[in-house]
Structure 1
Amino acid sequence: NDSLDSHNANGATVYWYQNSQETLAEVLNANIQKKSLLSNRGVRQQNYQVLRQTNKPAVLLELGYISNPTDEKMIRNQLHRQVVEEAVVDGLKQYFAS
């Protein structure tokens, strides 16, 4: 992830590359922020191979940083993982319904 070994990096980041991916990234980020306790690191355009070499909607989700003690506790918590999972699923439903 993008924490660069920093114990201060925390929260959720949604990456996109192609302009057609930006709306998906924004919808997912909004749902994650609405439903989870992860801090908002925002939606960012990045030139990652996994995002640029696709012709389908694609984003990369960073859903916490194991290098951060608070995020690590959340990542290890089953209820937290379920809430984040539901936020992502709800975001996908919202995106594909529009």
Structure 2
Amino acid sequence: MFDEDRIQQDSPAWVAFVQICFAISLGCTALGVIFLPVNLWVKGYLGMGLLFTVGSTIILSKTLRDQHEARKLIKRIRDAKTEKILTEFEKVS
């Protein structure tokens, strides 16, 4: 009862675009921190902030996706239960 047509998949071009944009933005920001005319400890602080921001953004997006997928699964289970109840009711009637 698995319906592959209901699974949303991104095109390979979109995945490549997203990965390239991520790499460019991370690289440009890192270069900006490296070439910033400040002390090394300030660069280190900004670099740590950049890494923590990127890491927590990835974790947040994964968590939100997992919550969304869980809600979709719960909805499908409820729909299946409702359909089963209606089918049994129709047999009795």
Give the structure-1-normalised TM-score: 0.33
From the CA coordinates, give the structure whose radius of gyration is larger: 2
| Structure with the higher fraction of residues in helix conformation | 2
Q: Which has the higher contact order (CA 8 A, sep 6+)?
A: 1
Higher strand content, 1 or 2: 1
Output the TM-score relative to the length of structure 2. Answer: 0.34
